[in-house]
């Protein structure tokens, strides 16, 4: 099985990057059995709308994961209970709309996808480690991908090692800066601390510098706007054997522009 996971899609620049670069990646690195992405920043950099969700999934993605920003567009939150190919972190309380895991099926292949959120420097929700244990008890396929949406690199590495040998892939999302630590862990799990961001890399984690710098300079709130320069699609490509163990992985960055 070959999987492509695309890092956090940020606003219109991120959607443009996927639309224009995904066909090239599929041609050069595919074919892929499943293509997934974290889409929680898809609408203006914060949350999703129904229109944006349809636009992204219409580009050929099988599933979208998310994180803390999935709740930002209040009018969209009820849709979480209806969308079968969109996940929110599973370790939010059960009363929250949506679901945190699903099993994709295509051409006789099955891939379970788990979405979890960290707790260090983030909201104090349920334990992602224990939540993963509970979800894995219900899964009946050896092919399992986990999107761990977390702030701290230590927490991401800890979960990766905790799940090593029990899942196929652990990708970190949320911090928007691609890390260079992709590797196959001793138990056969493909791991990267952060797969990176898809969108404008000419600013501050996907936002225009002029919209972000005032907050650092004054401490006052400022309205962030999605950066439109230096567009890059960040992703991780993973090949799994018949037992669901990783045999190879490749960290990818495809650019639409030459200079930041």
Domains and CATH numbers, the chain: 2-255 (3.60.21.10)
Q: What is the pLDDT of residue 259?
A: 45
Residues 7 and 37: beta-carbon distance below 8 Å: yes
Q: What is the pLDDT of residue 84?
A: 87
Task: Determine how β-strand 144-149 pairs with β-strand 8-9.
Answer: unpaired
pTM > 0.75: yes or no = yes
In whole numbers, what is the pLDDT of the chain averaged over residues?
A: 95
pLDDT at 258 over 60: no
Q: Which of 161, 225, 166, 152 is nearest to 194 (CA)?
A: 152
Q: What is the pLDDT of residue 116?
A: 98
Angle at 15 between CA 13 and CA 20, to 5 degrees: 95
Looking at the annotation, which residues are catalytic? 69
Count of CA atoms in the C-beta half-sphere (13 A) of 64: 27
Q: Model confidence at 196, in pLDDT bands (50, 70, 90)?
A: very high
Give the tens place of pLDDT for each residue, 18-61.
999 999 999 999 899 999 999 999 999 999 999 999 999 999 99
Tokens at residue 6, please? 């695309």
Bridge partners (DSSP) of residue 255 are 232
Q: Which of 103-117, 159-173, 209-223, 246-260 has the lowest mean pLDDT?
A: 246-260
């Amino acid at each position: 099985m070959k999987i492509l996971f695309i890092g956090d899609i940020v606003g219109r620049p991120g959607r443009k990057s996927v639309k224009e670069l995904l066909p090239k990646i599929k041609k050069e690195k595919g074919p892929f059995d499943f293509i997934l992405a974290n889409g929680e920043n898809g609408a203006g950099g914060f949350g999703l709308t129904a229109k944006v969700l349809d636009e992204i999934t219409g580009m050929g993605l099988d599933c979208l994961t998310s994180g803390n920003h999935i709740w930002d567009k209040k009018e969209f939150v009820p849709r979480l209970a209806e969308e079968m190919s969109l996940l929110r972190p599973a370790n939010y309380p059960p009363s929250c709309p949506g679901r945190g895991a699903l099993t994709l099926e295509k051409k006789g292949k099955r891939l379970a996808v788990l979405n979890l959120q960290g707790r260090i420097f983030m909201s104090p929700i349920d334990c992602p480690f224990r939540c993963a244990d509970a979800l894995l008890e219900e899964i009946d396929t050896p092919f399992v991908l986990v999107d761990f949406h977390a702030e701290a690199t230590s927490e991401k590495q800890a979960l990766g090692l905790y799940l090593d040998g029990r899942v196929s892939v652990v990708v970190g999302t949320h911090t928007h800066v691609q890390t260079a630590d992709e590797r196959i862990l001793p138990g056969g799990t493909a791991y990267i601390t952060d797969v990176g961001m898809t969108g404008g890399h000419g600013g501050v984690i996907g936002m225009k510098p002029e919209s972000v710098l005032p907050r650092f300079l004054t401490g006052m709130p400022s309205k962030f706007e999605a950066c439109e320069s230096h567009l890059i699609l960040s992703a991780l490509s993973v090949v799994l054997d018949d037992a669901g163990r990783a045999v190879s992985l490749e960290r990818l960055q495809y650019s639409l522009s030459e200079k930041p």
